[in-house]
Structure 1
Amino acid sequence: MNFYSFARAVANTILKTFYRIEVRGTEHFPKEGSVLLCANHIDNLDPPVVGITAPRPVYFMAKAELFKYYLSKKLMENINAFPVKRGLSDREALRTGLKYLKEGKVVGLFPEGTRNLTGEVGKGLAGAGFFALRSNALVVPCAVVGPYKPFKKLYVIYGRPIDFTEMRENKISAEAATDVIMSEISKLVEEHRRKA
C-alpha cells in the first residue's frame, strides 16, 4: 500500500466516524481518462472529504503556504497535492495541472479559491475554465453540502460530466467556462435542497 492509499484509508475512517457522509452520483464519474473535478468550498475539510469519496485518486491543487515547511511539503506531495499561489496567475501550477490531465489523471480544485461560509456557491476563478479549455478532460461538478457537524449528515454529490468540446471549438473565455462549471455546481446544491 502506498502512502496515498494509506492516508486515504486513515482519513476515511476518521471522517466517516465523525460525519455521516452520504455520497451520491459516483456512477457519473468517468472510470478512466482525464477528469477535472470541481467542487464548491465550505470548509477546510472539503479536500479530504472529496478525496475519500471520489472513485479515483485525485491530484489536488493546494495553497502554496502548505508547502512552506519541509514536513508539510512532503505530506502534501505524498497525498498528490501540488501548490498554487493564490491571487496570482501561477503558471507553474497551471503547467502542473495540465501535465496531470494530459496523463489521464484526475485533477481536483475548488474554483472559488477560498471557503464560502454562507453555504452558497460563489463566483469561480478563471483557472478552472483554463484547465477545462486547454485540456481534453471531462469536467465533473461536485457539491459538498453541510454543515460540518459531528454525527450529522454531510452530502457529497457528483454531477454528470460536462463536455467542453463545443465550447473549446467556439473559443469561449476561461471566465465564461468557469461560469458554466459553477452553474452546474449550483444546480447540484439546489437539487439536493429540494430533495432534502
Structure 2
Amino acid sequence: MKTRTRIAAITAAGIVAAGAFAGTVALATASPPMSGPGPGHGPVTTPRGGPRDGGCLAVPGITDPSGTLTEVQRTALAANAEEEKLAHDLYTEFARRYDTPVFDHIAASETTHLEAVRTLLSRYGITDPTANQAPGKFATPAVQATYDRLLAQGAANQDAALEAGRAVETADIALLRESLGGLTAPDVQRVYGSLLTASQRHLAAFDRWLSR
C-alpha cells in the first residue's frame, strides 16, 4: 500500500498550494510529446473543442500485448482508475456550474481515459475500485477526501474551479510519471503514455483560461 500512500500524498500536495505543484508542472512540460512509435502513440481521433477548450488526442485502441506487472504496478493501475474518475466527476460538476467549455470537453476526454484504464484492469484481473461507484463517490477514503476538498474549492468561483483543475492534472502527471518508472508491459506503457500527453494538454488548457 506504499504506492497508494504516495499517490494520496501527491494529490493532497496539489490541493494545499499552487506552489506545491508548480515544480511538477514544470517537470511535466519540460519533455515534449513523444513522436514515432512508442507509448502514447497509435491510431488517434480528436474530440470536440480546440486546445484552448481542452481538446486533446484520444487514447488509442489497446492493441499492444500484455506483459507482467508487479504488485506495486497493479496497485498503481487501480489508483490511476480512481484518479481518472475523480477528474471526470469533478469536471462534470464544474461544467454544470460554469459556462466554461473547457470543463465539458475535458470531462468527455476523461471518460475515454477511464475506459482505457478499466480495460487494462480487466486484462490483468485487477479489481476495479471505480466499479459501481456513483458520481463523486470513491472507494478509497483519501481519494474521496481529495474530491470533496477540490469540489468545495471550485464552488467559490470559476477561477477557483480552474485552479482545482490545474491541481488535478498536475497530480495526474506526477502519478503517471511515477507509474511509468520500471514498467515493461507494452499495453500499460502505451496507455500511460497517452494519458500523460493528455494531462499535459489539459493542464495547458487550464493555464490558458486562467491567463485570459
TM-score of the two chains, using structure 1 as the length reference: 0.30
Structure with greater helix percent: 2
TM-score of the two chains, using structure 2 as the length reference: 0.29
Structure with greater strand percent: 1
Larger RCO: Structure 1 or Structure 2 (Cα < 8 Å, ≥ 6 residues apart)? 2
